[in-house]
Amino acid sequence: MTYDLTNRRVVPLDLDGVTDKAGLMDRCARALALPDWFGRNWDALADSLSDRTVWPEGADGRGLLLVVRGWRAYADARPQEWATAQEVFAEAAERDPALTVALAVGGSAEHLTDQAGRSDRD
């Protein structure tokens, strides 16, 4: 289990290889451990992101940081779907300040910096 510096539960949402909405919904369901009844549509995703009772264990009382990575290929392939996904993420985060959705702009975790600000290349 991972937590950020504000003690929110950090959940990575890896979209590498996702080419359509169905793939996005499957990755969301897996990353967030959503219940079987998750409807795999935009409204269901918005509802799930806004419903702390279905958030991953450890997030309900602390908050949730969803880090979306590997999203660029999907955004390029399906720009309208990606725009809708961003709207869903933004609206859910606006509804609940305990939710933050961050789009990772970098490549792999190999280039992340540690808490002191040093990268693995230093």
∠ CA(96), CA(17), CA(9), 5° rounding? 30
pLDDT in tens, the chain (122 residues): 565 557 889 999 999 999 999 999 999 999 999 999 999 999 999 999 999 999 998 888 889 999 999 999 999 999 999 999 999 999 999 999 999 999 999 654 433 333 334 334 44
Using DSSP, state whether 46 is helix, strand or coil.
Answer: helix
> Residue 26 carries which side chain, given as an amino acid letter?
D
> Residue 48 carries which side chain, given as an amino acid letter?
S
Long-range contacts, 85-92 (Cβ 8 Å, 24+): 85/24, 85/42, 85/45, 88/42, 88/45, 88/46, 88/49, 89/49, 91/46, 92/46, 92/49, 92/50
